[in-house]
Chain A
Amino acid sequence: MDLFKRVCKQRRWFIFVPIALSMLMLLPLTNAKVNPDLMEYLPNDIESKINLDSIEREFGKFEPLIIYIKSNDILQPSSLERIVSLSEALSELPEVNDVLSLHNTKYIRGVEGAMLVDPAIRFIPTNEEEREALKQELTMNPLAVDVFVSSSFKHASIIVNPEQGIPDETLLQKVDSVLMVYPGSESVYMNGLPYLRNEIQVKATRDLALLLPLGLFVMLVFLLLSFRELKGVLLPFSVVLMSIAFAMGLMPLLGYDLSLIAVLVPIMMIAIANNYGVHIIARYQELNSETPSILMPQIVERTLKHLTKPILLTAITTIIGILGLAVHVMAPARQMGWVTSVGVAVALVLSLVFIPSVMLGMKKGKPSHGKLTFERAWIRKLLAQISLKTVSRPLVVVYIFVSFLLLSAVGILSLQVSINMEKMMPKAHPMRISTDIANQHFGGTKTISLLFEGDIISPEIMQAMDAFERELKQIPEIGNVTSLASVIRIISRSLNNPDDFLYDTIPNDRMAIAQYIEFYSMSGDPEDFEKLVNFDYSQALLNIQFKANDYKAFKRVVGKIKALANSSPHCTLMAGQCLVENELARSIVRGQVYSLIFALLAIVILLATIFKSVTAGIIGSIPLLVSLICNFGLMGWFGLELDIGNSLISSVAIGIGVDYAIHLFWRLKYELSLGRSYPSAIANTLTTTGRGITINALSVMLGFAVLFFSGLVILKTFAFLIIFSLLICLLCTLILIPAICVLVKPAFLTMNGDQQLID
């Protein structure tokens, strides 16, 4: 039974079932969990994560919230008092495990035969003399300067270590409420993973709430302007709504958490899902205006006969392109690939089943009388011009594209991988400001820990750690290095007089080191060492804090640390959050490459199958290849870094962009089969199908353009790059492919094929 007869027979079911199912699909969304932590989506078996996990198992997880306070003078009474009040109030919070700041760090030194242990701020200075004295003390205190106060005394930090399992949102709310209770003239900025994760979550939720209605509104306006008929607006619109419900509802149903990338799913559906419905409405209007006496069932029958196969083919190619994401290394990208593909499949089915069923029960609208609107006029004129130039000077066209391609390809050489998660935020965002403060005044935001194993308190290991510290401090990007060796040095300075030979050294005697530690533990907290050495002194950490603005700097520093780590048999492991982030970045590149290869190969095979020619596969893939090279080239030229967001672009661009070539080939083949010459076949193709392709591409770009209103830079960049890629793809399809066809005159275009599909 053909589709039309089936639609006629089961019309009510085809209307009722999709609506009911869509409603049902909304239900799981109430249980959807938002998880903004991209790290959690990384596979557990990657080396950097295994290393970090093993260190965290022994030394505890340390994901602090860091508060930076900026003041003209941190040592002025009001600023110091605020730091004290904040530290005290924060440590009172049940959600907080401990708070480290100038308020509770120690000042340990040896004075005239005594070891003095005081709080770093022993007094709040009341005059310039006292201020200078405190400044001197803090400058000499390695437990304070560059850790809790900058050497310029314009910045201070408060490190808040949350209790385990406290949600970021709760922590941030509580911290905000404490900050409100203690206002001041100082600027306060936050940093750290809990803050970043919370900001992403807030912005992603806001984006979903704002961009979805905005995208739907833009699409409504677009449909209204295109068809000027209520049917033309409501039918494709309802398909979009239902496919969004399916795609989004599927995520919690499959046990996927809503990640940052999930924001893209409804936007992609808005951009893609209306395509098929739009073709049906356009055909309906065309038939209605051609034959005003035609009845609705006849329109539906002819439309389905005419469009089922091309719609099916373009939807399949889109699905295959997007499914390229299913081999992505990152789970959220894979998940997006699956649910978007299902969404597109739903849109396809609904367009072929739901829209005709509803149309059958509707009255036919007034026929429009083929009057060219302004839009139709200028696009047609432009396309006519393009076809003229292309046909007359095809080689020039090819040269221009090749030059542009080469120029873009040069940009790829400077393409970098993003390693700084805070760059997801806009430039003026507090996270970016606090990162600058951390990098410029507090030794940096990145940390790497080196694990030492063996008899930690033996002079051999302790001296090795001490030597590492000294060596690492020579590297300009490295801010702070701390280990048990630094503590031993502090103790040796406070226990011995400057003229003693043991002053500021690591003792060459295991007993002495053990006694130093015992001695220190009598004046500190038992937990003081917890982050540096394990309980039985068999493992110790050397913590390195550094800054790296880009991937090159990061690689350089990590390379040096690695080389040093390899030089000692006692140093057995290197781990850190930034190494996991680096692995994430590398997996993004890998994901990009896999998705690209998969999608391109699939498309070449598919095109070759549809047109029964390998040449069709190759020529048809040229726009995709050019747009991808230009996309990466542009990123390189503009200094845009590869991140999780734009790693999705290749697959999405391939999935959407391949449709243009299919439409073009189909029409060109048809025009040539009518015995037309290449110039006239190309002119006819561009002004008819070319117009459709252009409008379709513009509508998709418009759909993605709503992402410019996102609060996250990562999504704005995605919008910019996908629009750019689709534009290049469109230009290649409309200009380069016709030029190549004129030059090559490929056989598949003149072979007899499925001509009936065009009529």
Chain B
Amino acid sequence: MKLKLFLSFTLLIAISVAVIAQNPKEIASKSNEMVEFESMEMLTTLNIYDARGNVRVRDVAVATRKFGEVTKTLMRFMAPPEVKGTSILVYDYPEKSDDMWVYLPSLRKSRRIVSTEKGKSFMGSEFSNADMSRPNLNEFTYKLLGSQKWNGKDCWVVEATVASSEVEKELGYAKRVSYTEKSTYLTHKSELLNKSGKVLKVMTLNNFQRQKNGRYFAYEMRMENMQSKRYSEMKVKSFQLGSSLSEEKFSVSSLEN
């Protein structure tokens, strides 16, 4: 009897786990959590390729830190020389549109950029600003399309459809199909599609490295524009969990100093 009870209990747990695990929104949420960092600093190289393989190289230093509810990010071009010192400061609010300032060293002044579209290019690359920030889970409806092997990894295939045309306009795509590894919840590939299912861009994340806080960070990201055949790669040269920069460093006035 005890054995029977135990078996039933085990079965129940197994089924529940399977049901929970197969809830697509849950998968997306867990996947987000796996790569979420409140603060970090990194040095990265952004390679922007055109369809013929010509490349523009940008070295960028990035620092992110959360102050209260606001995540503040500072990015500074380190190379090439003609844009060295150009800096971008982004305030990411949970409930309203981001604030963004750009500092141009040649003008010695910063300028606030107000754009309603997050789907625009991140530093002239194929990545968009939206790709760089954490998606709001409630802006999508989720559907589990099934399981598939990707690069030898057993993945959930989750389709996230934007909940409104406003969100679609903001992000620049209508659907996102993600390949999330079942065992780690790491998303290795995302396809961004338009309403009729045409694949606009494909993002792949590689070289995930586990950090001290148990989360993972992708040291290599690639975004390919399927229309223009341009693609961009972001390769992290160094990564540091946490940032020692003070809040003052994340201010407009310090951009100009």
Contact = CB atoms under 8 A, between A and B. Distances in A.
Interface of A: 88, 91-94, 97-98, 110, 113-119, 457, 495-496, 502, 507, 509-512, 514-516, 518-519, 521-527, 530, 535-536
Contact of B82 (A511, A526, A530): A511
B149 interface: no
Q: Which 8 A-B pairs have the closest CB atoms?
A: A521-B124, A512-B106, A514-B82, A114-B112, A92-B196, A117-B115, A535-B54, A535-B50
B115 A507 contact: no
A512 to B, nearest CB: 4
A69 to B, nearest CB: 21
Contact of B104 (A91, A98, A515): A515
A524 B121 contact: yes
A524 B119 CA distance: 9
B112 to A, nearest CB: 4
Contact of B106 (A515, A521, A536): A515
Contact of A512 (B48, B107, B125, B225): B107
B73 to A, nearest CB: 13
Contacts of A526: 48, 121, 124-126, 225, 228, 230
B56 to A, nearest CB: 7
Contact of A522 (B123, B126, B227): B123
A525 B121 contact: yes
A523 B82 contact: no
Contacts of B242: none
A515 B116 contact: no
A92 B198 contact: yes
A114 B125 CA distance: 23
A120 to B, nearest CB: 12
A114 B86 CA distance: 16
5 contacts: A93-B196, A510-B82, A511-B83, A535-B54, A535-B56
Contacts of B120: 117, 522-525
Contacts of B125: 526
B114 interface: yes
A502 B121 contact: no
B195 interface: yes
A512 B82 CA distance: 8
A97 B107 contact: no
Contacts of A515: 82-83, 86, 104-107
Contacts of B116: 117-119
A110 B112 CA distance: 9
A516 B107 CA distance: 10
Interface in B83-138: 83, 86, 88, 102, 104-107, 111-117, 120-126
B194 interface: yes
A103 B157 CA distance: 33
A88 B194 CA distance: 10
A184 to B, nearest CB: 20
Contact of A92 (B56, B195, B228, B230): B195
A324 to B, nearest CB: 46
Give the most central of A88, A93, A516, A519: most B CB within 10 Å. Answer: A519
Given A117-B113, A536-B54, A519 B86 contact: yes
B114 A116 contact: yes
A509 B123 contact: no
A681 B77 CA distance: 99
B102 A522 contact: yes
A115 B114 contact: yes
Given A119-B117, A510-B82, 11 more contacts: A92-B195, A92-B196, A92-B198, A116-B113, A116-B114, A515-B105, A515-B107, A518-B123, A521-B123, A524-B121, A526-B124
B26 to A, nearest CB: 30
Nearest to A515: B104
A527 B228 contact: yes
A523 B230 contact: no
Give the most central of B124, B126, B225: most A CB within 10 Å. Answer: B124
Nearest to B113: A115
Contacts of B123: 518, 521-522
Given A515-B105, A526-B48, A114 B56 contact: no
A113 B102 CA distance: 12
Nearest to B54: A535
Contacts of B114: 114-117
Secondary structure at the B interface, as helix, strand, loop or mixed, is: loop
Contacts of B54: 535-536
A113 B112 CA distance: 7
A92 B194 contact: yes
B101 to A, nearest CB: 9
Contacts of B105: 511, 515
Contacts of A93: 196
Give the most central of A495, A521, A524, A526: most B CB within 10 Å. Answer: A526
A357 to B, nearest CB: 63
B223 to A, nearest CB: 11
Contacts of A524: 120-121
B24 to A, nearest CB: 24
A370 B113 CA distance: 97
A530 B227 CA distance: 13
Contacts of B227: 97-98
Interface string B69-88: 00000000100001100101
B194 A91 contact: yes
A629 to B, nearest CB: 54
B105 to A, nearest CB: 7
A518 B124 contact: yes
B121 A522 contact: yes
Contact of B115 (A88, A496, A523, A527): A523
A522 B124 contact: yes
Nearest to A163: B227
Contacts of A507: 106
Interface in B163-214: 194-196, 198
Given A92-B195, A114-B113, A116-B114, A519 B102 contact: yes
A113 B195 CA distance: 37
Nearest to B101: A114
Contact of A521 (B50, B112, B121): B121
A518 B86 contact: yes
B106 to A, nearest CB: 4
Contacts of A514: 82-83
A93 B86 CA distance: 38
A94 B114 CA distance: 32
A669 to B, nearest CB: 72
Interface string B48-65: 101010101000000000
B104 A512 contact: yes
Contact of A527 (B77, B88, B113, B230): B230
Contacts of A536: 54, 56
A510 B120 CA distance: 25
A522 B196 contact: no
Nearest to B110: A113
Nearest to B84: A511
A94 B198 contact: yes
A457 B48 CA distance: 18
Nearest to A510: B82
Contacts of A116: 113-115
A440 to B, nearest CB: 33
A98 B198 CA distance: 12
B124 A114 contact: no
A495 B113 contact: no
A518 B85 CA distance: 12
A395 B206 CA distance: 97
Contact of A502 (B107, B112, B126, B195): B107
A195 B107 CA distance: 47
A519 B104 contact: yes
A94 B196 contact: yes
Given A495-B104, A515-B105, A515-B106, A523 B196 contact: no
B115 A495 contact: no
Contacts of A527: 228, 230
A501 to B, nearest CB: 11
Contacts of A118: 115-116
Contact of A117 (B56, B82, B107, B117): B117
